[in-house]
Chains A and B, each alone.
Chain A
Amino acid sequence: MGLKKFHEELEQIQVDLAAYGEYAVGMLTDGMGSLRGLDRALADDVMDRKTHLAELHSDLEDRTIRLLLLYQPVAEDLRTITCINVMNYSYYRVGRIGKDIAKAVLGMQGETYTVPFDSLYVMADIVYAMHREVLAAFRTGSAVNLEDLGLQDDRVDAMRAGLFREYLTYMLEDPKNIRSGIEAISITRHLERCGDHACLMAEKIFFMAEGERVEIR
């Protein structure tokens, strides 16, 4: 056995990255959850998680850099580390987006009237499903169904365009809707970014598993 220690650490980083992914996507789902009824306690809780998110991110980054430095990995090991590195950044962004949504919820505290957010939850459900597929693929080291993921991403993009019009009409109807309308539009943008991150990660997982560089669409 040549590099037992290296492979043990690489496997541990994979396990920890998957846990990190759960944590980050959890911030997104809870951030969206806090939107329902403008739940202040939950939004505060999500805000509080941002420090830990950053700590986990730096820890994973330090450890992957250390592996590169000490072992100069090649082939599937290098592809795995490349993938982990990209996913580490993507999950950090996803977690931060959860925090941003929670922040928007805190900003809307005391608003007596808001636009309906129901369509946002529908959009978010597609994004969660995309992230579940990505994480499951990473855990098993197998490629994601890219075509399927691409279609889901198309739906997310289409919803963003549609929801922009929807919220615009609410705002035109009554200027009191402007505050929450703008927040809703920015959340569509956030969710779309989260969908993009799922696609990016899927591409890297494909590279890790199959050794081939692909792009969704």
Chain B
Amino acid sequence: MVIPVEQTEPIITTRGLDLFYGETPALNQIDIDILRHRVTALIGPSGCGKSTLLRCFNRMNDLIPSCRVTGSVSYRGENIYAPDVDVVHLRKLIGMVFQRPNPFPKSIYDNVAYGPKVHGVRDKGALDTIVEESLKKAALWDEVKDRLHTPAMGLSGGQQQRLCIARTLAVGPEVILMDEPCSALDPIATAKIETLIEELREQYTVIIVTHSMQQAARVSDYTGFMYLGELIEFGKTEKIFETPDKELTSNYITGRFG
């Protein structure tokens, strides 16, 4: 089911967002509205700030000591950089999947159950349900249901990445951030992740950073093109890839620079 545009509303909003690594500016006055139940792709050449922007949405940049943020990032209308924000809780609601699959060196089951356990779920039956549901949502259940207690490291790269998605889903997020989730995967595994993203948008909001323009065009509803720390153009994906307004966008996506 596709939710009509008029029923969606921004779930994450940034206004005048600047970010510095030490003295070096990495993001410059970013204003973006991420719509709920939509897939938003961020594209741009290496170093343009797209991953940095992604990491602002769940304060992953906090882990970098020299990083300084000004301007606002709000999630459901609340400023996530306010001093009283519980970052652990924030990251539960805004989960993240990384470039390389990074399962814990534990069993498949434990990988998925880890998050809910940390957040206080102790009941075995409840955990079983969460693990099964999460693996099903991540389109991995049928492939692993008979070996849930075998090491996750024994899975293929594509399966590991879907396991990481299941692990993210297990704590019940609303938003899933994906930082080049397919760049370490073969085309078949990539296609599975892309199909999964399509399914996830029914229940979640997905923001994906990708180097593959074709992937952005295939999976996203909205696309933002970034260059040198600025959001150059943001709009519906068809529009960006068919008739972009800015010459810079056009030159980048048609491979005339970058």
Q: Which residues of B contact A (CB under 8 A)?
A: 213-214, 217, 241-244, 249-250, 253-258
A-B pairs with beta carbons under 8 Å apart, 25 shown: A2-B256, A2-B257, A2-B258, A3-B255, A3-B256, A7-B255, A7-B256, A71-B255, A72-B213, A74-B213, A74-B242, A74-B253, A74-B254, A75-B241, A75-B243, A75-B244, A75-B250, A75-B253, A76-B250, A77-B254, A78-B241, A79-B243, A211-B242, A211-B243, A212-B243
Whether the pair B254, A75 counts as a contact (CB closer than 8 A) is yes
User: CA A3 – CA B256 in complex, angstroms?
Assistant: 7
Residue numbers in B under 8 Å from A78 (CB-CB): 241-242
Whether the pair B258, A74 counts as a contact (CB closer than 8 A) is no
Q: A72-B214, A74-B213, A74-B217 are in contact. Are A79 and B242 (CB under 8 A)?
A: yes
Residue numbers in B under 8 Å from A76 (CB-CB): 250, 254
Residue numbers in A under 8 Å from B253 (CB-CB): 74-75
Residue numbers in B under 8 Å from A212 (CB-CB): 243
User: CA A60 – CA B209 in complex, angstroms?
Assistant: 36
Give me the 10 closest cross-chain CB pairs, A-B, nearest first. A211-B243, A3-B255, A2-B255, A74-B241, A77-B254, A74-B253, A72-B214, A75-B250, A75-B254, A75-B253
Q: How far is the CB of A84 from the nearest CB of chain B, in Å?
A: 15
User: CA A79 – CA B256 in complex, angstroms?
Assistant: 15
Most chain-B Cβ atoms within 10 A of its Cβ — which of A1, A7, A71, A74? A74
Q: A72-B214, A74-B213 are in contact. Are A6 and B243 (CB under 8 A)?
A: no
Residue numbers in B under 8 Å from A2 (CB-CB): 255-258
Residue numbers in A under 8 Å from B244 (CB-CB): 75
Q: Is A107 an interface residue (CB 8 A)?
A: no
Whether the pair A73, B254 counts as a contact (CB closer than 8 A) is yes
User: CA A78 – CA B242 in complex, angstroms?
Assistant: 7
User: CA A198 – CA B244 in complex, angstroms?
Assistant: 27
Residue numbers in A under 8 Å from B255 (CB-CB): 2-3, 6-7, 71
Q: How far is the CB of A107 from the nearest CB of chain B, in Å?
A: 47
Residue of A nearest to B213 (CB): A74
Q: How far is the CB of A62 from the nearest CB of chain B, in Å?
A: 22
Residue of A nearest to B239 (CB): A211
Residue numbers in B under 8 Å from A79 (CB-CB): 242-243
Residue numbers in B under 8 Å from A7 (CB-CB): 255-256
Q: How far is the CB of B80 from the nearest CB of chain A, in Å?
A: 33
Q: How far is the CB of A31 from the nearest CB of chain B, in Å?
A: 38
In the complex, per-residue mask of A16-29: 1 if CB is within 8 Å of any chain B CB, else 0: 00000000000000
Residue numbers in B under 8 Å from A3 (CB-CB): 254-256
User: CA A205 – CA B49 in complex, angstroms?
Assistant: 36
Q: How far is the CB of A93 from the nearest CB of chain B, in Å?
A: 26
